[in-house]
Amino acid sequence: MRSWKRVSRLAGFVAVALSVVVSNAAAAGKKVIIDTDPGTDDAMAIMLALNSPELDVRGITVVPGNVTARQGLDNALKMISLANRCDIPVAAGAQHPIFQKSVTAEYWHGKNGLANIELPPSKCKVDPRFGPDLIIEMVRANPHEITLLPIGPLTNIALALQKDPSIVPLVKEVIIMGGSISGGNSTGAAEANIFGDPEAAQIVFQAGWPLTMAGLEVGDKTLFSKAYLDRLGQTHGPVNDFIYKVAKFLVDQSAQFGSDGSPMYDPTAIGTAIDATIMTTVAMHVDVETRGEFTRGETVANRHNMNERNVLRHFDDGDRYVIEGLDKLNPNVKVCTDIDSKKFLEMFVTRIAGK
């Protein structure tokens, strides 16, 4: 009897110790807030984050972009519910960009933004806070610990910055999906998330915090092909089956446009937060064009981190500017210029499989 008691006490001790180890493992994940306009590739990104032990998703804030703010909130709540993660606060944010009207993308993402897949009603409730306030609150409560992962237009992040600029040094880092240094996908110059709110993007880019830009250069190299789709089709689970359907919609769509697969734009930003070694980055000074007739929303990258200093001088034959030196610019962005696509796609498929 006494020895049985000792065994059972020992078993209890082991169980407690194990649960401490498990909860510490969860707590060891990087604390992240995802700001999203869900969105087919947003769905893939969110599910990747939720199934990655390296990340501890502390909140999801919704921004208008691919779909309206209202549709996006509905999509986010349904996805969190599907993943059984009602513990994660999901908050509505801005209802429109700072300066312009929204540009929604049902054309690419399906009528409801989620490839026309009807998910069951959400068991999760919306968090009553305004998205930018939730960001401010969480950053202040967890100084130097929160990584922001914006994968839509940057409206909510800019509003948070405007309301409380003191969060800048308290944020651990910001990894965005957005921008391009080699031409756009919305226009010849602008990538969709930046084009969706250029004024907000310029505020976020110039804030002075550690910012990584996973833009079109890396998204376009990371194609989810039919081969990966077939692999996901061999395993099952609520999340697996949902992502399979989303990916099938995207793979079929890319085939119509003559491409071998669908760019994994938003998931690449999450992948960077999980394992930064998948990316090659170059530090550059980047500004967002807000005025150009053909270039509004372009992320203009200065590769040399300097500008010529032009000084107006008077000469007998007229006034002109003369280059009199170079003004150094501080790099404000780590621009992702290359990605280990294979490693990333493997990471994605193995983490979604069977979930």
Tokens (6 digits) for 217: 């250069």
Residue 268 or 332: the one with the smaller Cβ distance to ligand BDR is 268
Gap between the Cα atoms of 136 and 134, Å rounded: 5
Residue 39 or 285: the one with the smaller Cβ distance to Ca ion is 39
Is 265 an interacting residue with respect to ligand BDR (CB under 6 A)? yes
Instruction: Choose the one of Ca ion, ligand BDR, none that binds residue 185, judging by a C-beta under 5 to 8 angstroms depending on kind.
Output: ligand BDR
Q: How far is the CB of 25 from Ca ion (least distance, A)?
A: 29
Cα–Cα distances in Å, from 31 out to 87, 147, 237, 334?
Answer: 14, 6, 26, 20
Instruction: Choose the one of Ca ion, ligand BDR, none that binds residue 287, judging by a C-beta under 5 to 8 angstroms depending on kind.
Output: none
Cβ count within 10 A of residue 187: 16
Tokens (6 digits) for 144: 């130097």
Is 71 an interacting residue with respect to ligand BDR (CB under 6 A)? no
Q: How far is the CB of 44 from ligand BDR (least distance, A)?
A: 9
Of the residues 39, 97, 110, 132, which one makes contact with ligand BDR according to CB under 6 A: 39
Write each residue from 129 to 168 as x if it is in contact with ligand BDR (CB under 6 A), else as -, in one continuous string: ----------------------xx----------------
Cβ count within 10 A of residue 321: 11
Of the residues 56, 217, 266, 289, which one makes contact with ligand BDR according to CB under 6 A: 266
Q: How far is the CB of 5 from ligand BDR (least distance, A)?
A: 58
Instruction: Choose the one of ligand BDR, Ca ion, none that binds residue 191, judging by a C-beta under 5 to 8 angstroms depending on kind.
Output: ligand BDR
The residues with which 287 forms a beta bridge, in sequence order, are 300
Is 41 an interacting residue with respect to ligand BDR (CB under 6 A)? yes
- Give residue number: closest CB to ligand BDR: 192
Nearest 5 degrees, angle CA 349-CA 243-CA 197? 105
Is 192 an interacting residue with respect to ligand BDR (CB under 6 A)? yes
Is 185 an interacting residue with respect to ligand BDR (CB under 6 A)? yes
Phi and psi angles of residue 150, each rounded to the nearest 5 degrees, phi first: -80, 125
Is 193 an interacting residue with respect to ligand BDR (CB under 6 A)? yes
Is 271 an interacting residue with respect to ligand BDR (CB under 6 A)? no
- Span of 36-44, 71-79, 88-96, 329-337 interacting with ligand BDR by CB under 6 A: 36-44
- Span of 5-13, 25-33, 35-43, 273-281 interacting with ligand BDR by CB under 6 A: 35-43
Nearest 5 degrees, angle CA 254-CA 260-CA 265? 65
Strand, helix or coil for residue 10: helix
Q: Which residues bind Ca ion (CB under 5 A)?
A: 37, 39, 42, 151-152, 266
Gap between the Cα atoms of 94 and 234, Å rounded: 39
Residues ≥6 apart with Cβ < 8 Å to 40: 66, 108, 109, 110, 113, 114, 115, 246, 249, 250
Residue 42 or 74: the one with the smaller Cβ distance to ligand BDR is 42
Tokens (6 digits) for 253: 């769509």
Residue 197 or 340: the one with the smaller Cβ distance to ligand BDR is 197
Strand, helix or coil for residue 293: coil
- What residues between 105 and 124 interact with ligand BDR by CB under 6 A? 105, 108
Q: How far is the CB of 304 from Ca ion (least distance, A)?
A: 31
**What is the 3 state secondary structure string of 140-200?**
HHCCCCEEEEECCCCHHHHHHHHHCHHHHHHEEEEEEECCCCCCCCCCCCCCHHHHCCHHH
Q: Which residues of 127-159 are buried (b: 16+ CB within 10 A; e: fewer)?
A: bebbbbbbbbbbbeeeeebbbbbbbbbbbbbbb
Q: By the criterion CB under 6 A, which residues form the site for ligand BDR?
A: 39, 41-42, 66, 105, 108, 151-152, 177, 185, 191-193, 265-266
